[in-house]
Amino acid sequence: MWKFIVRRLLVTFPQIVFLSVLVFVMAQFMPGDALTGLIDPNISPEALEIQRERLGLNNPWYVQYVDWLGGLVQGDLGQSFRFKMDVTALISERVMNTILLSLVSLIFTYLIAIPLGIISGRYNDSPLDSAITGYSYLGFATPIFIFALVVLWVFGFMLGWFPTSGSVAPGLDAGSMEYYISKLYHALLPGLSIALISVVSTIQYLRSEIVDTKQKDFIITARAKGASENRVYNKHIFRNSLLPIAAFFGWEITSLISGTVFVERVFSYPGMGLLFLESVTGRDFSVVTALVLLFGIASILGALLSDIILSIVDPRIRIK
């Protein structure tokens, strides 16, 4: 299995290099450059040209790429002209919020989806299964931004159980216990909103996998050994049905970084999705470039994680 993981890691490295080239080239095609956002209209074009020369903006693209890569490795992603701060500092502040929110929603998703998927698959075509499947259709059809608004209105404003915006209550010392509790508290409602909608695909995946696995020959073997129905389901069917869910898990991790634009917007939650949306509309190119690169790396790592998880749970994947 280690061989498989090492081999898989070796493939990942060129993928990331290729991604960085792609992102850099695309950034070059965008109108404007690093100076566009900073210039004062009163500066003469000659002075601008001198600055360009000094900053290396007139160098061939591969020289610029190497410069850019060098900065990247040292954690220098440039300046955001909109926020007037380092992109690295800007992103690292947001990334923690997004990871917290995504973790909360991921935990809720699996807590809800796995039991419902098991019930739905085991007792398929029963009234209970119909009810769960009915909910799934409803979830598929409901736009998350509408649902999040309703949740916010009911639990945030009408009942007042949860905060309605931000990621932390003002006036708390960063690092204190109250601060972390407040952070978690702020992530609960948006996290639950995401979970209640995103469970439906996991439920349906699990259900159809269980219905499928139920009819496999090795289930008959298990019954013929004298395994009770509960044992057949828990030991044989469930584990085999988890494979696609496990494979999907890595992709879920990707969303830990990229965040969810709509829900962050509705809850005014300062996460990556919201930052990306703001930067695109505000033409904050250095931030957009950095985020695209980050999301890209996240999906490559997500795929890597998926494969590793799959190789752990499914012995057939491992390369000898």
Write out the residues near another protein by the rule CB under 8 A: 216-218, 220-229, 235-236, 239-240, 313-316
The smaller minimum CB distance to another protein, of residues 192 and 245, is found at 245
The smaller minimum CB distance to another protein, of residues 278 and 314, is found at 314
Burial class (CB in 10 A: 0-12, 13-18, 19+), 269: buried
Query: 139: closest CA among 157, 117, 171?
Result: 117
Count of CB atoms within 10 A of residue 128's CB?
Answer: 14
The distance of closest approach from Cβ of residue 4 to another protein in the complex, given in angstroms and rounded to an integer, is 14
The distance of closest approach from Cβ of residue 227 to another protein in the complex, given in angstroms and rounded to an integer, is 6
The distance of closest approach from Cβ of residue 317 to another protein in the complex, given in angstroms and rounded to an integer, is 10
Query: 154: closest CA among 199, 184, 187, 193?
Result: 193
The smaller minimum CB distance to another protein, of residues 21 and 312, is found at 312
How many CA atoms are closer than 13 Å to the CA of 303, on its beta-carbon side?
Answer: 12
The smaller minimum CB distance to another protein, of residues 36 and 228, is found at 228
The distance of closest approach from Cβ of residue 214 to another protein in the complex, given in angstroms and rounded to an integer, is 8
The distance of closest approach from Cβ of residue 106 to another protein in the complex, given in angstroms and rounded to an integer, is 24
The smaller minimum CB distance to another protein, of residues 176 and 228, is found at 228
